Amino acid sequence: MQEQILILDFGSQFTQLIARRLREMNVYCEIHPFNKIPQLTPDIKGVILSGSPHSVRQENPLNPSLENIKGKLPLLGICYGAQLLAHFYGGEVGKSNSREYGRANLSFVEDNNPLFKGISNESQVWMSHADTILKVPENYNIIASTHDVKVAGFAVTGEQTWGIQFHPEVYHSTEGAALLQNFVKGICGCKGTWTSDSFIDTTVAELKQKLGNDKVVLGLSMNQKLLRMLNG
């Protein structure tokens, strides 16, 4: 069974970049809409909540049930995902005095926290949000700040749950890849052995078992190898 990270998409323009960064680390991941959470099988080693153009303060906010995820699997909220984890669990999110967009530098990092292992003070990060976290819930600890954003990162006491206000998936966050690696390999324990070829081989084996002697026609030009292997 292929280990994987589940990414729940809230409509961010950067969601595909999160997946790309993980696959560059040879970690398999799948993107699913926030309101269509798949069955949580043992191969899912952790969950990432994406950013979003929406606000947690709007009428009918995007707020899926995380009762089977939060506190049970390693969980990382990015931007909107972090605001969701703060706002709906006893904290407060409000409109920022000015839209926080562009490069910023961390002014405080709790470097003994596993998410920020090896991340330097003054590390450059990329902000893109109109709301900001004004208060975290009582069992949340602030583990990163910038000069303008007090809650740039938090960790939940007694859980493997984190939130970050910036986007580690974009190249403007100079140590963003290291932070994502801390999460998927250090915290979630992914080994990083996935490759696109191994995915094809595994998929072929699974489909052959299900299909038996049936023939298959696929309309996926990128998977000609897969089609040839299935049909003979």
**Active-site residues: which are they?**
79, 167, 169
What is residue 29's predicted lDDT score, i.e. its pLDDT?
A: 97
> Please, which residues have CB within 8 angstroms of residue 70's CB and are 6 or more apart in sequence?
85, 159, 161
Q: How far apart are CA 132 and CA 92, in angstroms?
A: 9
Q: Are residues 10 and 57 in the same domain?
A: yes
What is the reported pTM? 0.85
Q: Please count the CA atoms within 13 angstroms of the CA of 66 that sit on its side-chain side.
A: 25
d(CA 177, CA 180): 5
Residues 75 and 171 in one domain: yes
Residue 102: per-residue pLDDT: 83
> Are 166 and 214 part of one and the same domain?
no
Is residue 117 domain-shared with residue 205, that is, in the same domain? no
**DSSP H or E segment with residue 204:** helix 196-211
Do 91 and 204 belong together in one domain?
no
Question: Tell me, what's the pLDDT at 177?
Answer: 97
Please give the pLDDT value at position 3. 95
Same domain for 200 and 180, yes or no, is: no
Beta carbons of 164 and 156 less than 8 angstroms apart: no
Assess whether 58 and 144 both reside in one domain.
yes
Do 116 and 157 belong together in one domain?
A: yes
Instruction: Compute CA distances 56 → 52, 106, 138, whole Å.
Output: 10, 24, 19
In this structure, the answer to whether residues 172 and 113 fall within a common structural domain is: yes
Please choose, from the candidates 120, 125, 160, 165, the residue with its C-alpha nearest in 3D space to the C-alpha of residue 142. Answer: 165
Structural domain range at position 54: 4-187
| Contact yes or no for 144/102 (Cβ under 8 A) | no
For residues 28 and 113, state if they share a domain: yes
Instruction: Let me know: does 160 contact 1? Beta carbons within 8 Å.
Output: no
The residue length of the chain stands at 232
**Interatomic CA distance for residues 222 and 216, integer angstroms:** 16
Domain count, the chain: 2
Q: What's the pLDDT at 58?
A: 94
* Residue 201: predicted pLDDT: 45
Angle at 159 between CA 72 and CA 185, to 5 degrees: 80
The predicted structure's pLDDT at residue 230: 47
Q: Which among 86, 126, 84 is positioned nearest to 106, based on CA atoms?
A: 126
How far does CA 92 lie from the centroid of its chain? 22
Q: What are phi and psi of 204, to 5 degrees?
A: -60, -45
Give me the tens of pLDDT residue by residue for the chain, a chain 232 residues long.
789 999 999 999 999 999 999 999 999 999 999 999 999 999 999 999 999 999 999 999 999 999 999 999 999 999 999 999 999 999 999 988 755 678 999 999 998 999 999 999 899 999 987 899 999 999 999 999 998 899 999 999 999 999 999 999 999 999 999 999 999 999 999 999 999 654 444 444 444 444 556 666 655 544 555 444 444 4
Determine the pLDDT at residue 101. 76
Residue 68 sits in the same domain as residue 161? yes
Q: 139 with 207, same domain?
A: no
